Amino acid sequence: MSEAIVGIVGGMGPESTIDLMKKIFDATPAAREQDHIHLIADSNPKIPDRAWSIVGGGESPVPVLCDSVRRLTAAGADLIVIACNTAHVYYDEMQAATTVPILHMIELCVRHAAEQCPGGSTVGLLATTGTVKAGLYGRALRAKGLSAIMPDSAGQDELMDAIFGERGIKLGYLQENRPRVAALGRELMDRGAAAVIAGCTEIGLVLADCDFPAVDPLRLLADEVVRRVKGDAASKE
């Protein structure tokens, strides 16, 4: 029986899509090239900004996101993933555009956090203002008996500049933003967080080697893709 083909709704931003593909590659147990998973990535950086749509009344990304889902479905995807946290605000509309199951990265991440952190714990969240305003993680964490803390307003402004600024992560400036983002994560830890969720895929690009417990939703998504395609026993330690 042939393996499932995985479609990626990407381009938000392009480097995060590449990062997800690399994490799927790294998580796949393979003795030869042919053991790796068939991926189809629709990396479309033209998708309207998700955060601006939520907080500033910008153009809705829903039509383009649904077009991507339909394109991946037509290309033969058996499973679809979204390489962007904020885009999960529109998960229901995207799932309605296809009969192919779409994995929900936020649910995977929160389930992992609940397994790793004692009940009643506080979890730090570094995410775009759009993700925070939409309550994507806040509601899901509360449903698991956890609470979320975010940077204060100045810290959130700093985070958004690190992601979207003229020398931000989205434009490829990873190294200079690592200490900025790590400092914000440490501040959340100092305020009592048991761990910090990289609630934006760009944050995951710069928190890989931080000195505090960080949860990378994109890595969890990659692991789940491998499990779904290769079976529960598949793992690469």
Domain ranges, ordered by start, for the chain: 6-105+219-230, 106-217
Annotated catalytic residue: which of 66, 84, 109, 117? 84
Local structure of 215: helix, strand or coil: strand
Task: Indicate if 109 belongs to the active site.
Answer: no
Asked if pLDDT for residue 58 goes beyond 70, the answer is yes
* CATH number of this structure's domain 6-105+219-230: 3.40.50.1860
What's the average model confidence in pLDDT over 100-112?
Answer: 97
The answer for residues whose C-beta is within 8 angstroms of residue 162's C-beta and 6 or more apart is 168, 169, 177, 180, 181
Task: Indicate if 200 belongs to the active site.
Answer: yes
Q: Which residue spans within 150-212 are E strands per DSSP?
A: 196-198
- Which pLDDT belongs to residue 234? 63
Do the first three CATH levels of 6-105+219-230 and 106-217 match, i.e. the same topology? yes
- Which pLDDT belongs to residue 235? 54
**Eight-class DSSP state of 102:** B
Q: Is the peptide bond before 145 cis (omega within 30 degrees of 0)?
A: no
What the block records as the tokens of 2 is 């042939």
Q: How far apart are CA 43 and CA 46, in angstroms?
A: 9
Asked if pLDDT for residue 57 goes beyond 80, the answer is no
* CATH number of this structure's domain 106-217: 3.40.50.1860
Give the burial class of 71: count Cβ atoms within 10 A of its Cβ; 0-12 exposed, 13-18 middle, 19 or more buried: middle
pTM of the complete model: 0.93
Annotated catalytic residue: which of 66, 109, 117, 200? 200
Asked if pLDDT for residue 53 goes beyond 90, the answer is no
- Which pLDDT belongs to residue 110? 96
Local structure of 53: helix, strand or coil: helix
**Residue predicted with more confidence, 63 or 208:** 63
Q: How far apart are CA 161 and CA 164, in angstroms?
A: 5
Angle between helices 14-27 and 217-230 (to 10 degrees): 50
